[in-house]
Structure 1
């Protein structure tokens, strides 16, 4: 199996941990797995300390990994983001050809990025391999919805063309939610070539055994009801609503908003907060501190822009559920996020800071409600988001592709 995608471990959030988890799982099952990926940079949008600016190959957890250099913009706007992914497509072409010479049975292309993944199409064709495209993010739709790329622009047209070129040539297209699968079907992919493959709660066991008391004490949050957002600070999140909600609750000295993360919109968000005493910003926490942080929170915040609904199902939701704390999400009824959070938290309309503030306030004032919703969230994580269950689905998709290939 040849896996191609720009994000991989040691990135700790976003797509990287799941691509690494899939590759390591397949290798542990006895498959020969090669990965062509980029240098680690996410979510800070700067090359990780110690990462090489040249091509490097290593073997990690039974997986042969070639890391390729590529352009990393500090502020990833529309054109710069396209150059970022195009540079990976170019730098990964030669390593892909070397891997293709070993005749893989499966080429697994991870999206995003569409442009970066395009070399997987000729790679699969040359190798005579089945092409499996796994869509983590409907990036063109999301870029248009959030205004990152203008409608009708050259960037939009190129992105849509790349999307069509990739999806139309795939033997199997999997994605992380049923709603995203339906949207892929609307793009012309036949139903029998579409499957669902969720992200799992990758910190489930650690969170279950964690105690957040030390983190709460260290951060000076004793006696506070803590509403936490932890993750990437980018365009799709719409985190401005969290700042607005905190301002509306400025008189509630018992409630604190905590934002832990990195990303291109961090500086702007800190400026919008203007030093408000009930909003605290912390860096993205280390893997060792992540589980205690999640358990320390009294509720988790999952903001999203209205137009970005069903274009991605945030992987952070699984770990929120695993923490046994209620989730407050901004989503329209009937969307994937609203359906996932139903019964495990509160859902308010996107862009309605007053409703978000009211939801946080209601949980802070009703410990019984918060406890019931949190217990339901933990149970949902066990039912839908365990690593073992998701990897069984991955095995089924792989077996289906291998069987189809052997029949040709």
Structure 2
């Protein structure tokens, strides 16, 4: 089949959505002719990668048998809601030009965000005769209005959600990455969604091959790690409050690794504390060393983001064979994952005393922590392994196309 993918994030981005879009494209390229319409890499630093700073407005390259059509989109150094909209529109305009270079498609896969890219996918469906498949990684409008947009923008939200509904109903097939998001998608579209979760390459996140790196952990402290996007969807007020409260227990040390809109604020408030270390994002080939040498992972989520996103970082946390402490909505799919796996702790409220006592308990019971970590790893290997998720997606793709 001739497969065209439209996705804003792609290799050499090696975290977040770009990692999964690249993995999907390169897997399909083993048996099919695959092209992708994308932008220049910028995530997670919100800065165009050094190798692409001097690239032309339009470029074409071949990477691991995938034909890559790039447009050098506007990239704000400090993203806001309206700057993100400008980036979205600019990417769409440039990608229309790249879309004209696609002469035939059997399948067009649009990775959301950006929702506006679905319109380009629809144009390609009409012009090249392909089936339009929409894959939702993030309900971007819902998430934006949970954090960025005040209530006075009710008219704006109504218009955007009507646009979203219209575009989603252009699809022949749709998919998303969690069961909760499937329910959400079914409310927005008449197309019955397919479950296509993100996956883990557990050979790359493997405690048996991890090398110690003293930048990310210390042998003299109990190391508590958050690694990932430092954005609006996590409860950073609680994180800062908790780290501050724990400075009276110097045997516990917090490592924050990542980049995002909240990074300056958080690091600015916590960098003076002796129990806190910030590190910028690590390349994918160092992620194993980072994740597997934590003693415990933490993720404090805002409950209002239930069913809008499914943090892919959860898979890496669990694959590292270390226990996790996660907070969020009381009826969350992530909660179900931890309950079924018995690989960590999930709370529906952020309570300093409860989590502090839990850390004491984990530190005091290393065998319990080891057992929980192994159960977490076993769960993701059995349910989210690359070698089962991607072949099933290909089967679904072929079935729907035929």
In 2 relative to 1, CA 284–38 (structure 1 residues): closer, same or farther, beyond 3 Å? same
Q: Give how far 1:349 is off.
A: 2.5
Contact 1:227 1:360 survives alignment (8 Å): no
Q: Indicate the residue corresponding to 2:212 in structure 1.
A: 214
Residue 106 of structure 2 is matched in structure 1 by 105
| Local SS of the residue matching 2:255 | strand
In the TM superposition, what is the alpha-carbon distance from 1:188 to its structure 2 partner?
3.6
TM-score, normalization by structure 1:
0.92
Aligned: 1:85 with 2:88: yes
Counterpart in the other structure of 2:143: 142
- Report the 3-state secondary structure (helix = DSSP H, G, I; strand = E; otherwise coil) of the residue aligned with 1:321: helix
Contact 1:243/1:279, CA 8 A, preserved across alignment: no
Q: Could you say which residue in structure 2 is the equivalent of 1:121?
A: 122
Distance 2:374 2:344 in 1: 10
Greater than 4 Å deviation, 4+ residue runs: 209-213
Within 2, Cα distance between the matches of 1:50 and 1:218? 26
Q: Name 2:259's counterpart in structure 1.
A: 262
Contact 2:10–2:19 (8 Å) recurs in 1: yes
Determine the structure 2 residue equivalent to 1:330.
327
Aligned to 2:391: 392
| 2:207 matches 1:205 | no
Shift of 1:250: 1.5
The 3-state SS of whatever aligns with 1:246 is: helix
Mapped to 2, the partners of 1:219 and 1:81 lie a distance apart of: 32
Aligned partners of 1:28, 1:239: CA distance in 2, in Å? 42
Indicate the residue corresponding to 1:406 in structure 2. Answer: none
Q: Tell me the secondary structure at the aligned position of residue 33 of structure 2.
A: coil
Tell which deviates more after alignment, 121-130 or 64-73. Answer: 121-130
How far apart, CA to CA, are the structure 1 residues paired with 2:18 and 2:98?
A: 19
Kindly state the Cα deviation for residue 80 of structure 1 after the two structures are TM-superposed: 1.0
User: Does the CA contact (< 8 Å) of 1:257 and 1:278 recur in 2?
Assistant: yes
The CA deviation at 1:53 is: 4.7
Provide the aligned length of Structure 1 versus Structure 2. Answer: 395
Name the TM-score, length of structure 2 as normaliser.
0.94
User: Residue 161 of structure 1: CA displacement?
Assistant: 2.7
Q: Please name the residue that 1:376 is paired with.
A: 375
Distance 1:189 1:206, change over 3 A: same
Which of 306, 309, 314 in structure 2 is aligned with 1:309?
A: 306
Select 1:18's aligned residue among 10, 17, 20. 20
> What are the superposed Cα offsets for residues 105-155 of structure 1, whole Å, 9 maximum, x if unpaired?
11100001112332111221222211100000111111122x212344454
In structure 2, relative to structure 1, the CA distance for the partners of 1:130 and 1:350 (3 Å cut) is: farther
389-398 or 36-45: which moved more? 389-398
Q: CA deviation at 1:157?
A: 3.4
What CA distance in whole angstroms lies between the structure 1 residues aligned with 2:260 and 2:307? 22
Decide whether aligned partners of structure 1 residues 213 and 4 sit closer, same or farther in structure 2, where only a CA change above 3 A counts.
closer
Task: Give me the whole-angstrom Cα distance separating, in 1, the residues matched to 2:355 and 2:89.
Answer: 39
1:74 aligns with 2:73: no
2:253 is the alignment partner of 1:252:
no
Report if the CA contact (8 A) 1:330-1:356 is conserved.
no
Give secondary structure in 2 for the equivalent of 1:347.
Answer: strand
Of residues 3, 8, 14 in structure 2, which corresponds to 1:6? 8
Distance in 1 between the 2:354 and 2:56 partners?
A: 47
Taking the TM superposition and a 5 Å limit, the aligned residue runs for 1:54-65 are 54-65=57-68
1:244, CA displacement in angstroms?
1.5
**For the Cα contact (< 8 Å) 2:36–2:66, is it kept in 1?**
yes
Q: Unaligned regions of 5+ residues in structure 2, if any?
A: none
| Structure 2 Cα separation of the partners of residues 75 and 351 of structure 1 | 28
Q: How does 1:181-200 map to 2 (within 5 A)?
A: 181-190=182-191, 193-200=192-199
The separation in 1 between residues aligned to 2:59 and 2:220, in whole angstroms, is 49
